[in-house]
Amino acid sequence: MPNRSISKSVIKRLPIYLRILDQLIRREVEIISSKELSNESGFTAEQIRKDLAYFGAFGTRGSGYNTVFLREKIIKIIGLDSVTDTIVIGAGNLGTALTRYNLTKNPYVNVVAVFDKNPDLIGKKIHNIEVLPIEKSPEIIKKHGIKVCLISVPGDSAQEVADLVVEHGVKAILNFAPVKLSVPEGVHVHNADLTIELQSLIYYSSAEEERLTRLKKEMKDSHSSKSFTHE
């Protein structure tokens, strides 16, 4: 009852604040106001203050937020205060990109192993880790206590991969495959479906209103023949 669960929209913004703070600290900025954070992030200052206030009073009235202090707090809120070990399943181009990126650019995450079922890819080195056959994943998951898994396999094998890793203890999946995964209660799935993103972007890339007006017109025109088209 003391903390009722924080909304997803708030949680999605925290890593963005974190990234901005990392940049500011690199530039040796020590204090930042919600106004300035707003400029950097595109969110309103009010929203930023409100988001942070869910977790505590991290700022100083009259001056702003200490960047190092706030960064530390956000890291603890998200749970990034110790490096998170992950595995990547699917060693194609996407899996390779994800592995490389996290190993070299993401200090909060470590990739312990990469798996694939394609014999051609097994043994391949990515940055400094070797691609292992998927059968080895249960062993690695248990050995390292892996809770977070990235799935970058084709759509038709994503569900079986998910079943396998969840069975051995994975609690959170970042799913790049274009399918809806079924997982037991208590397991979290985030979908990073790039096709969906791209298609919804296409909606906005051309004159929205014009297209919808045309559509409405078509519907009206086909009204008489409706029973035809529509059964």
Partner DNA sequence: TAGATTGTTAATCGATTAACAATC
Binding site for DNA (CB under 7 A): 7-10, 33-35, 43-47, 49-50, 52-53, 57-65, 231
CB atoms within 10 A of CB 65: 25
Closest CB to DNA among 118 and 191?
Answer: 191
Q: DSSP character for 7?
A: P
180 binds a second copy (CB under 8 A): yes
Order of strands, sheet of 148-151, starting from the edge strand that comes earlier in the sequence: 125-126, 129-133, 109-116, 84-89, 148-151, 172-175, 188-191
129 binds a second copy (CB under 8 A): no
C-alpha distance from residue 181 to each of 159, 175, 204, 224 (Å): 6, 8, 28, 42
The site string for a second copy over 5-24 (x = CB under 8 A, - otherwise) reads xx----xx-xxx-xx-----
190 binds a second copy (CB under 8 A): yes
Considering the complex, what minimum distance in angstroms separates the CB of residue 108 from DNA?
24
67 binds a second copy (CB under 8 A): no
Q: Helix 45-53 crosses helix 8-26 at what angle (to 10 degrees)? A: 100
Give the interface size with a second copy as a residue count (CB under 8 A): 80
77 binds a second copy (CB under 8 A): yes
Question: Rg for the chain (alpha carbons), in Å?
Answer: 23
Q: How far out from the chain centre does Cα 111 lie?
A: 15
Closest CB to DNA among 67 and 159?
Answer: 67
Considering the complex, what minimum distance in angstroms separates the CB of residue 103 from a second copy?
12
Say which entry of DNA, a second copy, none residue 167 contacts (CB below 5 to 8 A, set by partner kind).
none
| Residues 80 to 109 in contact with a second copy, rule: CB under 8 A | 80, 84, 86, 92-94, 96-98, 100-102, 105-106, 108-109
3-state SS of the chain: helix, strand, coil percent to 5? 50, 15, 35
Say which entry of a second copy, DNA, none residue 73 contacts (CB below 5 to 8 A, set by partner kind).
a second copy
Please tell me the distance from the alpha carbon of residue 35 to that of residue 211, in angstroms, as a whole number.
Answer: 38
